[in-house]
Amino acid sequence: MSTATVRSATAHSATVDTPIGPFTAITADDGVVLASGWTGAVDDLLAVISPALRPAEVTSRAELGPVTRAVRDYHAGQLDAVAEVPVRQRGGEFMEHAWTALRTVPAGTPVTYADYAALAGRPQAIRAAASACARNAAALFVPCHRVLRTGGGIGGFRWGVEAKRWLLDHEDRN
């Protein structure tokens, strides 16, 4: 996860059909994911990109090369396909570290918010860990869906609890 402020004048977006609905990604000129999620509306994603990174313009493309391939491969059962896709987000020091730590949680092994806080190096910062999940702009590539409530409850998800359940079941099956 890059922490440098690299604001693109132009970014690119593409939408892919998935079993749980349209999935759109926005990438900077260098191909790094700025935002992604299960929506067909680019504006839904622009709103969650840090102002320091938010592009002035987004052009639509049929696909985004390796990013689109990774999304398709993940939904087809190749769960590690999204792991190496580069992501760029901005937040405070803890939040950026927490997003990087979240990328180490393997598919099929969800963690609790308490586990996630410990993984991010601040075991007492459970609310801050939950906030990092809520502010994650790069869903799937930074797998916030793999974090559950203490006791195993599914918790919330920007793209809907049904989508989160599908993702967890998909990862458990594969």
CATH number of 10-76: 3.30.160
| Known catalytic residue at 133 | no
**Residue range 90-145, pLDDT digits in tens:** 999 999 999 999 999 999 999 999 999 999 999 999 999 999 999 999 999 999 99
What are the extents of the domains in the chain?
Answer: 10-76, 93-172
pTM comes to 0.93
Query: E strands within 31-71?
Result: 33-37, 57-60
Question: Using 50, 70 and 90 to split pLDDT, how confident is the model at 8?
Answer: low
Q: Is residue 2 predicted with pLDDT exceeding 50?
A: no
Query: Considering 137, 144, 148, 167, which one is annotated as catalytic?
Result: 144
- The CATH T-level fold of domain 93-172 is Arc Repressor Mutant, subunit A (1.10.10)
Exposure class string for 29-65: b at 16+ Cβ within 10 A, else e: eeebbbbbbbbeebeebbebbbeebbbeebeeeeebe
Contacts by residues 148-152 (CB-CB < 8 Å, ≥ 24 positions apart): 148/110, 148/111, 148/112, 148/113, 149/112, 149/113, 150/112, 150/113, 150/114, 151/112, 152/112
Q: What is the pLDDT of residue 150?
A: 86
Say if 10-76 and 93-172 have the same CATH topology. Answer: no
**Residue range 64-92, pLDDT digits in tens:** 999 999 999 999 999 999 999 999 999 99
